Amino acid sequence: QATRVVGVPDVVVEIVSPNSEDKDLEWLMSAYHDAGIPEYWLIDARGDSVRFDIYRRGPRGYRRTKPADGWVKSAVLGKSFHLGR
């Protein structure tokens, strides 16, 4: 049975994999911006370190939130986050 979601989510989290790199880093970000999603979280743990970025929606696209001491603040959730191994 199908489920329908009505409205726009506040946050989308994508985890990059070798098979989804182009999709996650390029066209999904554009599609989510067009849909009006306020924050796009991108996690890439394929290397030795974890890449964790929060992008905030602006008028022409998403802008990366600058980390402070390794922590990235979510405007939507009002908290700061840090990912590591």
**Taking the alpha carbons of 65, 62, 6, 1 in that order, is the dihedral positive or negative?**
negative
Q: Using 50, 70 and 90 to split pLDDT, how confident is the model at 17?
A: confident
β-partners of residue 57 are 62
Contact between 41 and 13 (Cβ < 8 Å): yes
What confidence score (pLDDT) does residue 66 get? 96
What confidence score (pLDDT) does residue 53 get? 96
Interval 4-26 mean pLDDT:
87
What predicted TM-score, i.e. pTM, was given to this entire model? 0.86
For 38, phi then psi, to 5°, come to -65, -35
Q: Left (φ > 0), alpha (ψ -120 to 50) or beta: where does 12 sit?
A: beta
Q: Is the pLDDT of residue 59 over 90?
A: yes
Write the single-letter amino acid at 78: G
